[in-house]
Structure 1
Amino acid sequence: MTTNSFNLATLAFVSGVSGILLGLAVRHKTNEIKYFNTSLRASAMVIHNDTVYLSGQVGKINQESQALDGDIQQQTRETLDKIDKLLAEAGTDKTKILSTQIWLKDIKNDFAPMNEIWNNYMKSCGDTKTVRACVESAMARPSILVEIQVVAAL
């Protein structure tokens, strides 16, 4: 084996090992968990590895009455605005939503008007389609008409 052949073989071997190590480093995940807007009961958002988990979000709470104002469409818009802000804080956006869970107080009357706002919200995401479930549920406060929880990729 000539010196040039030896040097090329050594370089190829070292490059291959370096590539493998770099690949392992890139794929390495940490067990670090970041909590945001934490209260005694829960966090508004948790990030683990490359996934963002949001708690169920609701529209704006009127500080004076401690109730939510507006109809299903207003509350849905406000809720989606809160979700957008939290996703931005995490460094992602609605185009990376993986899964959505929606709770409606009155699915019979509110499903169609909520979906009108939802469809408009997701329209800018192109072919991105989250998996989604929508169910009827009693709410924590009588004035809450909709609650939405999402999981998104970073």
Structure 2
Amino acid sequence: MITRMAEEQRLSGAVAGGGLVWLAGQVADDASLDAEGQTADILAQIDALLAEAGTDKRALLSVTVVLADIRDAPAMNRAWDAWMDPAAKPARMTIQAALVDPRWKVEITGVALAPG
């Protein structure tokens, strides 16, 4: 069975199936925030999507963080470090790329285990 959450016109915010939850690229609801604030906003969205799927951040297997400007990595990492459970760190990659909306500084996607 496949479950789609937070469906929008072109995508689902998350899709669960086969024991996994795939997160779409999440961006901040408030694009006026700095990179640290946008990251915190996104991580709260990820918490909500994972909760809807019946899991949480401790089940994250891998995460990709996309920064519009790699110089924002320290600010993003401050929010990440405050949020992440140090006993359950996922594999993570951070890259720089242009984002669709120039106001966005951060986009995060990932894969988590779903409840069995």
Percent identity between matched residues is 38
With 77-86 and 33-42 compared, the bigger mean Cα shift is at 33-42
Q: 1:114 to 1:126 in 2, by over 3 A?
A: closer
Once the two structures are TM-superposed, the CA of residue 49 in structure 1 deviates from its matched residue by 2.1
SS of the counterpart of 2:78?
helix
Show the counterpart of 1:78.
41
Once the two structures are TM-superposed, the CA of residue 126 in structure 1 deviates from its matched residue by 3.7
Aligned residue pairs, count: 114
The question of 1:132 aligning with 2:92 is answered yes
Show the counterpart of 1:34.
3
Show the counterpart of 1:29.
none
Contact in 1 for aligned 2:5/2:49 (Cα 8 Å)? no
Once the two structures are TM-superposed, the CA of residue 119 in structure 1 deviates from its matched residue by 1.3
The gaps in structure 2 that reach 5 residues or longer are none
Give the AA of the match of 1:146: V
Alignment of 1:1-154 (within 5 A): 32-61=1-30, 68-107=31-70, 109-122=71-84, 125-154=85-114
SS of the counterpart of 2:25?
coil
- For the aligned residue pairs, the C-alpha RMSD in angstroms reads 1.1
Contact in 1 for aligned 2:66/2:94 (Cα 8 Å)? yes
Relative CO higher for 1 or 2, CA cutoff 8 Å, sep ≥ 6?
2
SS of the counterpart of 1:139?
coil
CA–CA distance in 2 between the matches of 1:36 and 1:77?
21
SS of the counterpart of 1:56?
strand
CA–CA distance in 1 between the matches of 2:74 and 2:9?
35
CA–CA distance in 1 between the matches of 2:40 and 2:86?
19
TM-score with structure 2 setting the length: 0.93
CA–CA distance in 2 between the matches of 1:60 and 1:38?
16
* Structure with bigger gyration radius: 1
The gaps in structure 1 that reach 5 residues or longer are 1-31, 62-67
CA–CA distance in 2 between the matches of 1:82 and 1:37?
10
TM-score with structure 1 setting the length: 0.71
